[in-house]
């Protein structure tokens, strides 16, 4: 295998996104809801299927910033 040098490669500038207080609150609420859900799952209070369904509902309800790439 031959190693080639890449020249004149520029990384595009990312557009900064300022997070509003409301978005920050939604992120926090989502995080807390997921932590409660994970605890319930760990103690056997809910099944994997229920965990996945509730996680999806949490993403819809709280709309976390990175929800588009979450499983």
Is the pTM here over 0.85, yes or no? no
For residues 3 and 41, give the distance between their C-alpha atoms in angstroms, rounded to a whole number: 47
Q: What per-residue confidence (pLDDT) applies to 47?
A: 98
**Tens digits of residue pLDDT in 45-61:** 999 999 999 999 998 89
Close Cβ partners of 46 (under 8 Å, ≥ 6 residues apart)? 37, 40, 54
- Contact predicate 54/46, CB 8 Å: yes
For residues 66 and 27, give the distance between their C-alpha atoms in angstroms, rounded to a whole number: 9
What is the rounded radius of gyration, in angstroms, for the C-alpha atoms of the chain? 19
């Amino acid at each position: 295998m031959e190693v080639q040098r890449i020249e004149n490669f520029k990384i595009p500038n990312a557009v900064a996104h300022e997070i509003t207080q409301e978005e920050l609150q939604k992120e926090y609420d989502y995080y807390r809801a997921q932590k409660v859900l994970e605890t319930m799952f760990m103690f056997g209070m809910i099944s994997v299927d229920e965990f996945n369904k509730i996680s999806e509902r949490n993403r819809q309800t709280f709309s976390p910033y990175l929800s588009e790439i979450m499983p």
